[in-house]
């Protein structure tokens, strides 16, 4: 499972773990501040440091992503600010958050012990959990069901394993899905060495054809999961979800939520890098 469904809302497993780590670190500040000479002040400064590091990390993670994908934004400031595409640079975020923690300890040395033990406790709990989730998702073989195309002819997903494969699960009623369609259409044109497959969830073909005509979209490899069984096989519970597979069927990357040209370009670059050794072997 790549995400968690919370009623009408959905949350990526990765984001759920980040929020869990934040809350655990906050709780750790409370517990370990009780041993300080002034527990109330220690807890206040330590919790401010934790939430401040989260905010700073979030800002610089987005900034780092924008710098990395500068050519994809083409000077569009609004697109740079639109974090709905889930584009973040983990390295930039972690480094800036760590520097903020160092700065906070320099200002308030009494929080050093509380932050240190809170960080240790959070890491002991969250790192194995993250590793187990990531390994379980990557170790599972890609399902290869037979799905009806928009033209009603059956298509086996096994036919797409000759190249790196991007599979997008979507529906016409989903606003982020509608928003990302032009980026996926451009990706099909820009990356001929990669299969970009779209699987519509539980909608009649006539409705999908009407949507594509209304939006003026030309998309290849449009498949129909009328029963929803295919999405369940792939562990998809939130739309849109985009999965990136190497030719050997290994899941290389996953993206829950809408993609943009920039976030799609980053994911495809990772996919190409992971797929190169497999191509060389073949």
Tens digits of residue pLDDT in 27-73: 999 999 998 999 999 999 999 999 999 999 999 999 999 999 999 99
Return d(Cα 93, Cα 65) in angstroms, integer.
Answer: 10
- For residue 266, pLDDT beyond 70: yes
User: According to the model, what pLDDT value does residue 9 have?
Assistant: 64
Q: Encode pLDDT of 162-181 as tens digits.
A: 999 999 999 999 999 999 99
pLDDT (average), residues 100-111: 95
Q: What is the DSSP string of 234-271?
A: TT--SSSEEEEE-TTS-EEEEEES---HHHHHHHHHHH
pLDDT (average), residues 182-190: 96
Which tokens go with 19?
């929020």
- For residue 185, pLDDT beyond 80: yes
User: According to the model, what pLDDT value does residue 180 have?
Assistant: 96
Domain ranges of the chain: 3-139, 146-281
280 — pLDDT class (breaks 50, 70, 90): very low
Identify whether the C-beta of residue 266 lies closer than 8 Å to the C-beta of residue 71. no
Q: What is the DSSP string of the chain?
A: --EEEETTEEEEHHHHHHHHHHHHHHHHHHHHHTTSSSHHHHHHHHHHHHHHHHHHHHHHHHHHHHHHTHHHHTT-HHHHH-GGG----HHHHHHHHHHHHHHHHHH-GGGHHHHHHHHHHHHHHHHHHHHHHHHHHHHSPPP--EEEETTS-EEEGGGGTTS-EEEEEE-TT-HHHHHHHHHHHHHHHH-TTSEEEEEEES--HHHHHHHHHHHT---SSEEEESSSHHHHHTT--SSSEEEEE-TTS-EEEEEES---HHHHHHHHHHHHHHHHHHHHH-
- For residue 223, pLDDT beyond 90: yes
- For residue 279, pLDDT beyond 50: no
Question: What pTM was estimated for this model as a whole?
Answer: 0.89
pLDDT (average), residues 215-222: 94
7 — pLDDT class (breaks 50, 70, 90): low
User: According to the model, what pLDDT value does residue 209 have?
Assistant: 95
Which tokens go with 212?
């594509």
pLDDT (average), residues 105-117: 95
Q: Encode pLDDT of 116-140 as tens digits.
A: 999 999 999 999 988 888 887 776 7
User: According to the model, what pLDDT value does residue 281 have?
Assistant: 40
Q: Does domain 146-281 have CATH number 3.40.30.10?
A: yes
Counting every residue written for the chain, the total comes to 282
Identify whether the C-beta of residue 40 lies closer than 8 Å to the C-beta of residue 111. no
Q: What is the DSSP letter of 8?
A: T
Backbone angles phi, psi at 246, to 5 degrees: -75, 165
1 — pLDDT class (breaks 50, 70, 90): low
User: According to the model, what pLDDT value does residue 132 have?
Assistant: 87
- For residue 146, pLDDT beyond 90: yes
Backbone angles phi, psi at 217, to 5 degrees: -100, 140
């Amino acid at each position: 499972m790549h995400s968690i469904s919370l009623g009408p809302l959905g949350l990526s497993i990765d984001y759920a773990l980040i929020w869990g780590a934040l809350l655990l670190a906050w709780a750790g500040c409370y517990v370990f501040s009780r041993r300080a000479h002034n527990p109330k002040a220690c807890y206040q400064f330590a919790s401010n440091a934790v939430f401040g590091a989260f905010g700073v990390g979030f800002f610089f993670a987005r900034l780092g992503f924008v710098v990395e994908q500068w050519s994809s934004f083409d000077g569009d400031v609004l697109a740079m600010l639109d974090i709905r595409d889930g584009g973040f640079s983990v390295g930039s975020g972690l480094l800036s958050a760590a520097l903020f923690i160092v700065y906070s300890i320099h200002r308030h040395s009494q929080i050093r012990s509380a932050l240190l033990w809170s960080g240790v406790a959070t890491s002991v709990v969250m790192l194995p959990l993250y590793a187990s989730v990531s390994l379980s998702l990557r170790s599972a073989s890609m399902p290869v069901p037979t799905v009806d195309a928009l033209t009603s002819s059956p298509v086996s997903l096994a036919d797409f394993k000759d190249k790196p494969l991007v599979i997008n699960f979507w529906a016409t009623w989903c606003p982020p899905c509608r928003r990302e369609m032009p980026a996926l259409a451009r990706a099909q044109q820009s990356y001929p060495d990669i299969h970009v497959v779209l699987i519509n969830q539980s909608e009649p073909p006539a409705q999908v054809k009407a949507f594509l005509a209304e939006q003026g979209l030309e998309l290849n490899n449009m498949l129909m999961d009328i029963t929803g069984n295919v999405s369940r096989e792939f562990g998809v519970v939130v739309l849109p979800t985009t999965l990136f597979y190497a030719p050997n069927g290994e899941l290389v990357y996953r993206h829950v939520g809408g993609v943009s040209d920039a976030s799609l370009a980053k994911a495809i670059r990772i996919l190409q890098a992971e797929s190169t050794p497999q191509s060389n072997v073949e």
